[in-house]
Amino acid sequence: MRISELSRRSAVPTATIKYYLREGLLPPGRATAATQAEYDESHLRRLRLVRALIGVRGLSVSATREVLGAVAEHAGERHQVLGLVLGARPVDEDAPAPGPAPAPAPGAAEVDALIGALGWEVSEYAPARAALGETLETLRSLGAALDPATLRGYAELAERTAVLDLDQLDPDADPLEQAERALLRTVLLEPALLALRRLAQENESARRGG
Amino acid sequence: MRISELSRRSAVPTATIKYYLREGLLPPGRATAATQAEYDESHLRRLRLVRALIGVRGLSVSATREVLGAVAEHAGERHQVLGLVLGARPVDEDAPAPGPAPAPAPGAAEVDALIGALGWEVSEYAPARAALGETLETLRSLGAALDPATLRGYAELAERTAVLDLDQLDPDADPLEQAERALLRTVLLEPALLALRRLAQENESARRGG
């Protein structure tokens, strides 16, 4: 297809597509004339993933290029590709830590204990570990700490949510397409899941009688 | 207690407490001398609630005053108080809609159908309805719509999350204290629940084999 068709099907303006081509986020098309190139379905899938990484995950162009590079290195390893695209895995796990060893993150011990108790297999570097630990510490500092049994209850519901999330991926889809879908669903569903919790709280509060 | 003790116990600076007194967010203490007043536990509970409404829910001083006024009107109706503090209920449900009748919100029919199917008792005005509808529409517009069965699955997990949330409230606590707790736990737990989902996804993805 021509770049105009690629633009129409992806809803990405032609000028933006040209910018992505110059920045190396999109491989060049097959040249058919001095100023014309043909693009195919793989360009469309890649373009959608680029849009999701930039627009939904909020990555910069250079961070997107790094993620795409790491994805290419792990092509075929579906779990790695998903982790990279979702940001569950850092692009370069072997990068030396900048500066001196960091102090243990707040709440890290509690998070480690939870993950250990559940037997979850998650990267030591998963950014969600720090996000969880910080929230647990904040609640503690406000005198509203969660007890371990309640935290585990929430984690078990998260496990079931993740099963629903993964069930929606088409196992036969192209890995890049699958990764784009997973990213859209993971990030864009977040406000919906929080809204469902608010509605369910209101209902549960009514059910228990004012 | 003196204002200095109230400040120490609430971790709110004296100058801020005086500002809240002037703005009517906190009732005056019992005057014990021309420039001195005594405060009690009810002031402390109210002050904590004010801090949570401003700091955690991000309300303005005047919006906080309106919520507190509505809470006072419904004192004793625990469910109403919770709804007001959490923002599940508008302060004034009888206020005439500004301007002409609004167009149906995006995704509203889908949200109504879900709430009806589950038999949930939630206010017609709950802001979470709009948040949910908008997300469903966004996913649809990106070609990643949720099918009704999956949406219902997420809603049923939200129901169980809400039971955990409500179980943590002490039924014997003062209603304002209960409302402050509920607000802290509802809003501050949000990033933790999202982080748990990310970790659970990573684990589930690993479990299914890359």
Chain A CB within 8 Å of residue B100 CB: no
Residue owning tokens 């933006």: A16
Cα–Cα distance for residue pair A205/A200, rounded to 1 Å: 8
Cα angle: A123, vertex A124, A130; to 5 degrees = 105
Q: Which of B142, B196, B208 sits opposite A158 (nearest CB)?
A: B196
CB environment B156-180: b (16+ within 10 A), e (fewer): ebbbbbbbbbbeebeeeeebbbbbb
Question: Where does residue B12 rank: exposed (0-12), middle (13-18), buried (19+ CB within 10 A)?
Answer: buried
Q: Name which of A111, A204, A207, A208 to mutate to probe chain B: the one with the most chain B Cβ atoms within 10 A of its Cβ.
A: A204
Q: Which residues does chain A have within 8 Å of residue B83's beta carbon, measured at their own beta carbons?
A: 202, 205
Q: Helix or strand or coil: residue A70?
A: helix
Chain B CB within 8 Å of residue A117 CB: no
Question: Where does residue B53 rank: exposed (0-12), middle (13-18), buried (19+ CB within 10 A)?
Answer: buried
**CA separation, residue A109 to residues A103, A130, A144, A153, B84 (Å):** 12, 11, 18, 18, 36
pLDDT at A93: 63
Task: Give the max Cα distance, chain B.
Answer: 74
Residue A168: pLDDT above 90?
Answer: no
Query: What is the amino acid identity at position A74?
Result: H
Cα–Cα distance for residue pair A199/B16, rounded to 1 Å: 34
Cα–Cα distance for residue pair A161/A167, rounded to 1 Å: 10
Cα–Cα distance for residue pair B81/B91, rounded to 1 Å: 10
Chain B CB within 8 Å of residue A173 CB: no
Residue owning tokens 């209101």: A202
Phi-psi region of A103 (alpha: psi -120 to 50; beta: other; left: phi over 0): beta
Task: Give the max Cα distance, chain A.
Answer: 74
Is beta strand A30-33 parallel, antiparallel or unpaired with respect to A36-38? antiparallel
**B150 to A164: CB separation less than 8 angstroms, yes or no:** yes
pLDDT by 10s per residue, chain B, length 210: 999 999 999 889 999 999 999 999 999 999 998 888 999 998 998 998 898 888 888 889 999 999 998 888 888 788 888 888 887 777 776 665 556 556 667 789 999 999 999 999 988 878 889 889 988 988 888 778 889 999 999 999 999 999 999 888 887 888 888 888 888 888 888 989 999 999 999 899 888 875
A1-56 pLDDT, tens per residue?
A: 999 999 999 889 999 999 999 999 999 999 998 888 999 998 998 998 898 888 88
Is the ipTM here above 0.85? no
Q: Which of B130, B125, B53, B129 is nearest to B93 (CA)?
A: B125
